[in-house]
Amino acid sequence: MRWLNHAIDWTAESFGGLGFLAGYNVVTFVWVGLGMVDRHWFDPYPSNFYTLSVSWLAINMSSLLLWSDRRKAAKERAMERHQAQTLDTLLALAEADAAQIPLIRQIAQSQVIILDELQAREHAQEVTPCQ
């Protein structure tokens, strides 16, 4: 099924371009011109077979274009869902980190108190004469 989706995307991109339009117009002018000039042409004017083939092409191309557009829209929706989930995860992590800030501050204050006490003890040992 994957190859079919790629083929449809390629068809939608290829047949939607200026090259296809120019080529199709050349085929149209040659086909209708031969039908008007040569009455023995297999599809003489008013070119009923050509009209049928244009209708067939229009129906198939519109179906392929709709199919391709639906696939692209589904891909975009999946990407948006993934981005939303990623953003939700990042926000949850940021909130968890923010919740840890008071604890980190408390630990830092405790460390400052401990360092002050150690410095005071060290200073007291320097001041006290040896016995």
Structure confidence at residue 130 as a pLDDT band (50, 70, 90): low
- Answer yes or no: are the C-beta atoms of 34 and 50 closer than 8 Å: no
| N residues, the chain | 131
Prediction pTM value: 0.52
Write the CA distances from 43 to 26, 34, 130, integer angstroms: 17, 9, 122
Q: Rounded distance, CA 6 to CA 68, Å?
A: 9
The residue ranking higher by pLDDT, 59 or 11, is 59
Q: Rounded distance, CA 70 to CA 12, Å?
A: 12
Residue 80 confidence (pLDDT) above 90: yes
- Answer yes or no: are the C-beta atoms of 8 and 74 closer than 8 Å: no
Write out pLDDT tens, residues 2-56. 888 888 888 777 777 788 888 888 988 888 888 888 878 777 777 788 888 889 9
- Looking at residue 129, its pLDDT comes to 61
Name, in order, each residue with C-beta under 8 angstroms of 41's C-beta and a sequence gap of 6 or more: 34, 35
Question: Which residue is associated with the tokens 């099924």?
Answer: 1
**Annotated domain spans of the chain:** 2-127
The amino acid present at 108, given as its one-letter code, is A
Which stretch of DSSP H or E encloses residue 13?
helix 2-14
Write out pLDDT tens, residues 82-109. 999 999 999 888 888 888 888 888 998 9
